[in-house]
Amino acid sequence: MSINWILLIVGGLFETGFAISMGKAQHTSGKESWMWLAAFAVSVSISMFLLYKAMGGEKAIPVGTAYAVWGAIGAIGTVVAGIFLFKEPVTFWRIFFLSTLVISVVGLQVVSES
C-alpha cells in the first residue's frame, strides 16, 4: 500500500471526525458547541489537505477513485459512529448497504493498484 493510500484513509477518518463534530455541535450549546465547531474546522481542513496530497505525487490516486474512497470511508465511519454515539438504529438494510459500500471501496482500491 502506497503512502498516498495511507493519506487517503487517514483523510477519510478525519472526514468522519468532521461529521461527528457537526452532530455533536448540534446537540450542545454555549462553549461546548464552539469547541465542537472548532473540532469540525480542524477536521475538515486536515481531511481536505490529505485528500489533496493523496491525489498528487509519484503514486497519485486518480481523482475519481480518491474522492469516491475518501467519501466512502467518511460515510462508513459516520454511520458506525452514529450507531455508537448517537444511538441510531441498527437494521438489516443499513448493515447490508454499509457492507456493499465497504466491498465497493475495497474493489476500487484493488483495481486502482494495477
C-beta separation of 27 from 89 below 8 A: no
pLDDT at 114: 52
> What are the boundaries of each domain within the chain?
3-113
21-71 pLDDT, tens per residue?
999 999 999 999 999 999 999 999 999 999 999 999 888 999 988 999 999
Number of neighbouring beta carbons within 10 Å of residue 23: 18
Give which of 67, 50, 46, 49 is closest to 112, Cα–Cα.
67
pLDDT at 113 exceeding the cut of 70: no
Mean pLDDT, rounded, for 98-103? 93
pLDDT confidence of residue 111: 84
